[in-house]
Structure 1
Amino acid sequence: MKKIWATVFILFLTTALYSQQALWGNQDITSPEINSDGTVTFRIQAPEVGKVQITGDFLPSQKADTPFGPSDAPGVADLVKGDKGIWEYKTPVPLAPELYSYSFIIDGLKTTDPNNVYMIRDVASVTNVFLIRGGRADLYKVNQVPHGTVSRRWYSSPKLNMERRLTIYTPPGYENSSKRYPVFYLLHGMGGDEEAWIALGRTAQILDNLIAKGKAEPMIVVMTNGNVSQEAAPGESSLGFYKPTMQLPKTMEGSMEQSFPDVVSFVDHDYRTLKSKQGRAIAGLSMGGYHALHISKEYPDMFDYIGLFSAAIMPDKRVSSPVYQNMDEKLKVQFSKKPKLYWIAIGKTDFLYKANEDYRKLLDERRYPYVYRESEGGHIWRNWRIYLTEFAPLLFR
């Protein structure tokens, strides 16, 4: 009997120790450390390596070539090696309130900070994040306000002949009320998916905080997957785990626009919505702005509020979808129906700036009204979060 209890005890101890192994081997280091003066210190213990750098959007940007043209890229700075092989970098100046992302580069290998568990995926890259509180950045954090609900829903798309997933935010109090709500369709950029806006864009936190302050109407926000060849985000579909990529089929050739009524039908059927043009808004960033532009003109009675955030404008010349034909006539019909808001925003150094400038000239020539917002910086999430905080309060008033 004693042998049995001894065996049981050893098994219990082994299991307990195994389950706790994640607590061992971690570096007892604080990184990042937000100092009282607003500077930030980053640390990593790597005694055997020859060089450690940090790259992040809090550093002065540098130019980089992309498949779509020159764009801003995060800067790079060197860490200094100290006692016990701990490398350190302290920002030379306080950082302004913002949600920042960063990675370490160790002997040329880009990697995450082992002392920071807070990470976000953007397409195939995973970076650490940290938040400097204050100002607009307080909209990006969880505050002690009523919270909405974020759910992942599967819906049937007859047009695409597949089941697909989207992310839906319902406002505080939705479950306990019987009222109907307006719907804001919020679309991601190339390489993104239905997780992009809720993670990188901080949609739930922004809406919770704006609604609590009385600065935005309570609304449902629907975040779709604009890659119509996908069922869902990488790792969330029947394809299992695979490396995400920006090079996906059927992204900007008309299928997204043609199938979008399937999304609206599902949302109107399963949620208490205002089923009218006055109760719907659509906006998107980059590729999502492209989709928002063409969806809204393709269905001029569907949306009263349209937002183009750093939008791609015209299709590739090799694309022949009817969605992109007769654009002048379709815009004429859309603006004859007097949408309540047509909102265009872009950064001064965005590689899509010229395309947006040309599109605004077209609208000006035809005297189609729109609101224009120009910001600093380029094709970056920092701008798109700002645009969301400014666009959402204009809806459904």
Structure 2
Amino acid sequence: MLLTVGITASAQEALDSRHTIVSPEIHDDNRVTFRLKTPDHVASVRVGSDCFSSGGADLKKNAEGIWEYTTPEPLPSELYSYFYVVDGMMMLDPSNVYIVRDVSTTMNIFIIGGGIGDLYKVNAVPHGTVSRVWYDSPSLQMKRRLSVYTPAGYDPGSKRKYPVLYLLHGMGGDEEAWLALGRVAQIMDNLIAARKAHPMIVVMPNGNVAQEAAPGESALGLVPPTPYLPKTMEGTFESTFPDIVQYVDTHYRTSRKKSHRAICGLSMGGFHAKFISARYPDMFDYIGLFSAAVAPGEKVHSEVYENMELKLKKQFDTSPELYWISIGKDDFLYSANLDYRKYLSLNNYPYTWFETEGGHSWRNWRHYISRFVQEVFK
């Protein structure tokens, strides 16, 4: 009885608690204050965030004994992630309930509005629907999960058909990555409402063919997320991709024309988009490679990656509407993408090159998808 009373009291205390610490506090001038209350014995607190060019900053104790740091300059409009390092141990901000997972790392987030950050917010516009659906993959002999965005106004009973964008994640990601980290549902809602993007269905598959679904969302239970999964970049995902297209075309009101299909992805997903679109040259008219790995590993041998000169020639002979390559100047894959660009130019294959500052980051990938979806299905 005493145990039950204790649990009930604890739950009630959680419901009734009032957090007096505001963190992060976004000031009117877009400077941001981070705060953390710790036990007295803590000797150091540091905040790590992509809002700092240096990667982080040290907090100092204020007169009330709260660790605190305010950015000296206003932050540009953007979605930012951050975490604390307390005496060398990483932890989340207990005053901020907004958390995302990137593979096995969790981080708090906040948004500065007034610019591109407004694209990542839920605004007062018509909203689409995100569904998690299971499909049969005969080629893999398993059921697997997809995330699917359908735009506002999508009615299963209507005769209107929609174009489809297949959006692929990077290594260690899954069918949740573009939704949680990429803010794709918010981006699509906002751009479609502003008539800057055509209403489209966005399909986000799990590119790890060894998985049924994201960690914690399959019969395997609450397994630890890891980027080190079998069969990620050895040809299986590319060769079995038609299973996904077949499911989408038979369960959604899609236009099956090449001109109404697009495929793009980040890093490993860009790798997949490159080789899927080359393997099936009549399937996609719009191809986007975001910070893409552009070549298989030296020890990888698959017919999917063989005879690429011939496959690319056949693909470009079909005259795709858009072949879009984007990468940051500090990306570790920048040099490889430059080489691929030179190859395309040498062969007079038309492409669009979009270069930005920064590196291999979700900040760039959110920018890239926001630009790419405005260029497709025109």
Per-residue CA deviation, residues 157-196 of structure 1 (Å, 9 max, x unaligned), is 1111111101000000002643110000000000000000
2:368 equivalent to 1:368: no
Per-residue CA deviation, residues 9-57 of structure 1 (Å, 9 max, x unaligned), is x999877535424236674200000011210000010133111000000
2:50 equivalent to 1:57: yes
Which residue of 89, 93, 102 maps to 2:73?
93
- Secondary structure at the counterpart of residue 143 of structure 1: coil
Conserved 8 A contact 1:348-1:374: yes
Matched ranges for 1:39-54 at <5 A:
39-46=31-38, 47-54=40-47
2:21 equivalent to 1:29: yes
Correspondence for 2:12: 20
Cα-Cα RMSD: 1.7
Letter paired with 1:151: S
Matched ranges for 1:149-168 at <5 A:
149-168=129-148
Matches of 1:231 and 1:243 in 2, distance apart?
15
Conserved 8 A contact 1:26-1:115: no
Correspondence for 1:227: 208
Letter paired with 1:56: S
Conserved 8 A contact 1:289-1:309: yes
In structure 2, list runs of 5 or more residues that go unmatched.
Answer: none
Which residue of 357, 366, 375 maps to 1:385?
366
Matches of 1:330 and 1:82 in 2, distance apart?
63
Matches of 1:139 and 1:45 in 2, distance apart?
32
How many equivalent residue pairs?
376
Which residue of 237, 240, 245 maps to 2:218?
237
Letter paired with 1:53: R
Matches of 2:87 and 2:3 in 1, distance apart?
42
Per-residue CA deviation, residues 228-273 of structure 1 (Å, 9 max, x unaligned), is 1001001001111121111111000001101100000000010000
Matches of 1:270 and 1:35 in 2, distance apart?
47
Q: 1:321 to 1:12 in 2, by over 3 A?
A: closer
Matched ranges for 1:164-203 at <5 A:
164-175=144-155, 177-203=158-184
Letter paired with 2:21: I
Q: 1:13 to 1:148 in 2, by over 3 A?
A: same
Matches of 1:11 and 1:106 in 2, distance apart?
32
Percent identical residues: 60
Matches of 1:192 and 1:40 in 2, distance apart?
29
Matched ranges for 1:172-321 at <5 A:
172-175=152-155, 177-321=158-302
Matches of 1:388 and 1:134 in 2, distance apart?
19
Q: 1:229 to 1:26 in 2, by over 3 A?
A: farther
- Secondary structure at the counterpart of residue 370 of structure 2: helix
Q: Report the more deviating stretch, 20-29 or 90-99.
A: 20-29
In structure 1, list runs of 5 or more residues that go unmatched.
Answer: 1-6, 62-74
Correspondence for 1:114: 94
Matches of 1:306 and 1:345 in 2, distance apart?
11
Which residue of 136, 156, 172 maps to 2:116?
136
Q: TM-score, normalised by structure 1?
A: 0.92
Q: TM-score, normalised by structure 2?
A: 0.96
Matches of 1:21 and 1:378 in 2, distance apart?
44
Matches of 1:11 and 1:104 in 2, distance apart?
34
Conserved 8 A contact 1:27-1:114: no
Letter paired with 1:22: A
Correspondence for 2:328: 347
Per-residue CA deviation, residues 191-231 of structure 1 (Å, 9 max, x unaligned), is 00000001111100000011001111000000011111001
